[in-house]
Amino acid sequence: MAEIGSYLYIAKKDLSRAKIMHAAQDYSAGGRFSEQSVEKCLKAFIEQNGISDDYRLMSLHKPRRLYERCLELGLSSLSDKDICTLSQLADYYYDTNYPGNAYFELTKAQSQEALELAEKVVVLIEAALERENEE
């Protein structure tokens, strides 16, 4: 069980929020909460396994860069399809959340894909952190 207030705890709450927003047909909010869930999961892994220089990564909203660091720290790889979705999540965080030329609304399919990825990442990180705690 994740400690209250930890990255993993908040990531799981964000996943629940993503599901609620997706079900309410607010697909952009569903995608943003999915991005936040993935981001916080990856930060949980970095926090547990990283080094002091990794503190700079903890303020990033770039899931792909966080994922690359997690791979360097020994996390199992996602599928190519999931990595492609992961690469799009930064756009879901910024471009659906702030006005400007890049603003867009997510489709149901995009929100669903982001939600499925978030679910996979939560399971992957929880399993990885449990294995480390057992050792």
pTM (predicted TM-score) = 0.92
What angle is formed at CA 87 by the lines to CA 86 and CA 92, rounded to 5 degrees? 80
Q: What local confidence, expressed as pLDDT, does residue 135 receive?
A: 66
Q: What local confidence, expressed as pLDDT, does residue 104 receive?
A: 92
CA dihedral (66, 11, 118, 95) in degrees, to 10, reads -70
- How far is CA 97 from its chain centroid? 16
**Distance, CA of 56 to CA of 65 (rounded, Å):** 12
134: confidence class by pLDDT, cuts 50, 70, 90: confident
Q: What local confidence, expressed as pLDDT, does residue 94 receive?
A: 85
Q: What local confidence, expressed as pLDDT, does residue 72 receive?
A: 96
List, in order, residues 6 or more apart from 66 with CB less than 8 Å away. Answer: 39, 42, 43, 46, 57, 60
42: confidence class by pLDDT, cuts 50, 70, 90: very high
Contact present, 92 and 113 (Cβ < 8 Å): no
* Nearest CA among 43, 12, 16 for reference residue 30: 16
Instruction: Give me the chain's average pLDDT, please.
Output: 93
Which of the given ranges, 6-20, 46-60, 87-101, has the highest pLDDT on average?
6-20
Q: What local confidence, expressed as pLDDT, does residue 125 receive?
A: 96
Contact present, 75 and 126 (Cβ < 8 Å): no
Contact present, 86 and 38 (Cβ < 8 Å): yes
